[in-house]
Amino acid sequence: MKKLDPRSVIIGFLIAVIGFMSMGATNSTFDSITVGNIKMKTKGLNIFAPSGKPVLSLGGSESGHGLIFATSNGNIGIDFAEYETGGVRMTFYNGHGKETVYLGKTNESDGFIILSDRYGEAQWSMTGKRK
């Protein structure tokens, strides 16, 4: 059996270290990504525009799940949510972050709508429940 000289061992070790470092130094920007499932570590997954402003947010908790679309200035534009209790809603916001249109389903599966003024104050509402 041949003896290994120390210089060859050090060179081999350094080549291995350089190889591992080059694998970790890749760019993490992807043109596309294909996955089967995504499991979130936190309560939400946020997608940002190149400008750094939020575009889309997916969230989930024990009490429900939601999807938020942001406006071009980064404020909430449309909010979709589902609750464990059976309620579902879609809310539209104005440029000041105030709720202006609120569509939804009650826990009893009746539809409802609320229209608000620019300040978020409800002005008109209707439910699909029979009287």
Share of the chain above pLDDT 90, in %: 21
Q: What is the pTM of this model?
A: 0.64
Cα–Cα distance for residue pair 53/55, rounded to 1 Å: 6
Q: What is the pLDDT of residues 77-118, one digit of tens each?
A: 999 888 777 778 899 999 888 999 999 987 778 898 999 999
Q: What per-residue confidence (pLDDT) applies to 5?
A: 76
pLDDT value of residue 25: 60
Can you give the three-state secondary structure of 15-65, one letter per residue? HHHHHHHHHHCCCCCCCCCCCCCCCCCCCEEEEECCCCCEEEEEEEECCEE
**Mean pLDDT, rounded, of the chain:** 82
Q: Where are the domains of the chain?
A: 44-127
Kindly report, residue by residue over 12-29, the tens digit of the pLDDT: 888 888 877 777 666 667
Backbone angles phi, psi at 34, to 5 degrees: -125, 125
Annotation: CATH topology of 44-127:
Outer Surface Protein A; domain 3 (3.90.930)
